[in-house]
Structure 1
């Protein structure tokens, strides 16, 4: 399911408990100390904490980390760090769902019970509070376990190509070589920004993509920050949006 983000937000209409969890491990490789690297003058994790605060959706805003410096930075930005993430859940290959399942269990042990948990990535400076509110509204409205933002691919994936070792171009889907782009269905990809999920879904280790619905956001607010070039592009985009 995909939604365009234009939902009716009935703010304050219920008393469900919500908790934000920002997973921020210390061992990033491609961009060292990525989660607290300065972005437009502030540690990048600040922006995820700030949008969670401004949304007024959350009873607790928690950072899950294995790293003392990240913990100190998160606390200075106004987040809580009431537990430490175990090192075996801070590996390069550790998926998001086990990290969130650990956070939900840790919160329950602390007496922080919530109906809905939102995973907000620490390097997501383009998240806005309306997106968070719209995602929660959709999760409450439809029979899915997760809701997360998606955006359109800039070009139909059905006409995507790959380059052979000799430089020859080949279509991944040869049957669409002559298809007009306007005749092909719109496709989307995960923005890598946040994931609303039911508490039971995180604890049940369900797959957040195939068990979820997509909330469409514009692709001018999407940058997947994986390397230094992505970081530079994201800062340029952020400053452009900020000063407009």
Structure 2
């Protein structure tokens, strides 16, 4: 069983300029995900994909096995992530002479995950027969109770309805917010399936305090607060 971890870190960012190289607890944001990948001991190769030379240099400095230069067409604001991951895996296989069975992508902007989260997501993929695994946290809003849609005429209604109406949020079907932290695939699913959701996509649940994805300055401040609190409490 051969496994690769990819970390995709583009140079451009609109919400938080330069966020992948911004210091968090004394090291670039990118470094936290590299160190987590190394610490879990699962991966034959940890590869960072970027269009930015400084990010690729930092990736090598903080322990990545491969620094992969991303093609321009995969580094635009509108580029989808799946082709980026496929490119990174194919490039790593060509360089290392390996064929990977399990592919895991860690989002550099979600540094609050634990090493155990990575291990458990991979275990769900490999031991439970899943095609691919995503991560998420319990949703703050429910489409069956307090998440609404507005139609073209301006009328508002629940996003989803049930045959029997729900009067308490606790009685609604469990829903989850994707937290963009960990993605795991079997090889065939990554390269042959058309999208993220497939016939056997599973979800690994994480708590809210490990699920913040940095997409704004407020997100960065929250993550910084939580990281500093962990360090103050002697946690990794």
Match runs of 1:6-45 below 5 Å? 16-45=1-30
CA distance 1:163–1:133, change in 2 (3 Å)? closer
Match of residue 235, structure 1, among 215, 221, 224 = 224
**Structure 1 alignment gaps of length 5 or more:** 1-15
**Structure 2 alignment gaps of length 5 or more:** none
The RMSD of aligned alpha carbons is 2.3
Match of residue 196, structure 1, among 155, 175, 184 = 184
- Quick one: distance in 2 between partners of 1:97 and 1:156? 28
| Helix, strand or coil at the partner of 2:66 | coil
2:35 paired residue number: 50
CA distance 1:218–1:82, change in 2 (3 Å)? closer
Please tell me whether the aligned partners of residues 3 and 100 of structure 2 are also in contact (alpha carbons under 8 angstroms): yes
CA distance 1:62–1:157, change in 2 (3 Å)? same
Instruction: Pick 1 or 2: higher relative contact order, CA cutoff 8 A, min separation 6.
Output: 1
Larger mean CA deviation between 146-155 and 64-73 belongs to: 146-155
- Quick one: distance in 2 between partners of 1:107 and 1:178? 49
* Residue-by-residue CA offset, 1:66-91 (whole Å, 9 max, x unaligned): 11000011111011334311010011
Match runs of 1:156-235 below 5 Å? 156-161=142-147, 170-173=156-159, 179-211=167-199, 212-235=201-224
| Helix, strand or coil at the partner of 2:88 | helix
Structure-1-length-normalised TM-score: 0.84
Structure-2-length-normalised TM-score: 0.87
